[in-house]
Amino acid sequence: MSQTPTTSNTKLAERGDLATVLGVDTAGEEDVTWTNLAGRVEPRPDPTFASRGATIRDDLGDRLDPDLLERERERIADEIGRLPDVRAAGVPDEPEGLYTEVAEPGWRLYDHLLEVGFFERLDETLPRFTAEHVETTARELVLTEPLSSALDDVGFDEGEKTALLSAVANDSERLSRWVPSNQIPDDVEFDTSTIPPLHQRAMGGALLWIRGLDRHLWQNEVLVTEEILDDAAWYVKAMLGGLFVSATAAHDLATAERFTDEQLTAALTAGTAVQIVSQEELLHAVFYITDEMRAPSELR
């Protein structure tokens, strides 16, 4: 079942931007999708992507538990599949339950990655989000067929996959505001020693937002509309999509199955990027309920 975002990331203009970032001429075309872009994007190998992927593989490959990663990856996929039922349930009837359960395999994945120093290593190895890094990531992503088919398998239709791709390709400026913790200098006005690694912040943040939905929707039921619930379900799906991409990359890292080193770097970057963009979009669409967005009061 497709869950089209109401705050759409896949508007025509944005798809046009996506095509432009990837260097594909789609003038006049309406059907700009991951799949048709994949057939037209020119590979542009970037040696730094390969070397970074190789470094991460060398550093982390032996530390990861492939069985755990595969198990939680499948469970994340199961939760993605369960989202239509979660959405159909409407406003949660208690402050913990529906969405808390959706986040659980993600938390187990997160805990394992935290334990093995995965996030710190990514911060040390991957560059900051720059327009160039994001563009290369999007290009590699669209060419990574195993990832595309994995997203197909877990229930992302063409429009939804393209939205994930747009979240990566079209948001380089937004993503650049998220800085790896080891690149934040000491002279900012807050203590940098307690700032978690960027990739941990992205994943942990996404999971906190998902889990927080039960409490938020239940407490604010009088403000919540069907549209807000639709957006909640979509952005949770998008965040889980990002987590699934990260889990797929981590599993590949542990098993050396399918990805090239370039694709590994791209998948790790893209998983984080999707988690970041989706949590910020969720914030606006679901948590910041203005008077214009809210359900009309039944009491006045």
* Binding site residues, other proteins, CB under 8 A: 95, 114, 171, 173-174, 177-179, 181, 183-185, 187-191, 193-196, 200-202, 204-206, 208-209, 212, 215-216, 218-223, 279-280, 283-284, 287-288, 290-291, 294, 297, 299-300
Q: In angstroms, rounded to a whole number, what is the distance separating the alpha carbons of residues 238 and 234?
A: 6
Q: Considering the complex, what minimum distance in angstroms separates the CB of residue 74 from other proteins?
A: 25
Q: Considering the complex, state which of residue 45 and residue 296 has its C-beta at the smaller distance from other proteins.
A: 296
Q: What's the residue count for the chain?
A: 300
CA angle (187 as vertex; 183, 191 as ends), nearest 5: 80
Q: Considering the complex, state which of residue 14 and residue 140 has its C-beta at the smaller distance from other proteins.
A: 14
Q: In angstroms, rounded to a whole number, what is the distance separating the alpha carbons of residues 188 and 191?
A: 8
Q: Considering the complex, what minimum distance in angstroms separates the CB of residue 117 from other proteins?
A: 13
Q: Considering the complex, state which of residue 126 and residue 147 has its C-beta at the smaller distance from other proteins.
A: 126
Q: In angstroms, rounded to a whole number, what is the distance separating the alpha carbons of residues 128 and 120?
A: 14
Q: Considering the complex, what minimum distance in angstroms separates the CB of residue 187 from other proteins?
A: 7
Q: Considering the complex, state which of residue 78 and residue 132 has its C-beta at the smaller distance from other proteins.
A: 132
Q: Considering the complex, what minimum distance in angstroms separates the CB of residue 30 from other proteins?
A: 28
User: Which class for 273: exposed (0-12), middle (13-18), buried (19 or more C-beta within 10 A)?
Assistant: buried
Asked if 30 and 10 count as a contact pair (C-beta separation under 8 A), the reply is: no
Q: Considering the complex, what minimum distance in angstroms separates the CB of residue 165 from other proteins?
A: 18
User: Which class for 238: exposed (0-12), middle (13-18), buried (19 or more C-beta within 10 A)?
Assistant: buried
Q: Considering the complex, what minimum distance in angstroms separates the CB of residue 208 from other proteins?
A: 3
User: Which class for 127: exposed (0-12), middle (13-18), buried (19 or more C-beta within 10 A)?
Assistant: middle
DSSP structure class, residue 276: H
Q: Considering the complex, state which of residue 111 and residue 226 has its C-beta at the smaller distance from other proteins.
A: 111
Backbone φ, ψ for residue 11 (5° rounding): -65, 160
Q: Considering the complex, state which of residue 54 and residue 223 has its C-beta at the smaller distance from other proteins.
A: 223
3-class secondary structure per residue, 139-162? HHHHHCHHHHHHHHHCCCCHHHHH
Asked if 58 and 77 count as a contact pair (C-beta separation under 8 A), the reply is: no
Q: Considering the complex, what minimum distance in angstroms separates the CB of residue 215 from other proteins?
A: 8
Q: Considering the complex, state which of residue 44 and residue 177 has its C-beta at the smaller distance from other proteins.
A: 177
Q: Considering the complex, state which of residue 35 and residue 225 has its C-beta at the smaller distance from other proteins.
A: 225
Encoded amino acid at 300, one letter: R
Closest CA to 181 of 128, 107, 131, 116: 128
Q: Considering the complex, what minimum distance in angstroms separates the CB of residue 212 from other proteins?
A: 5
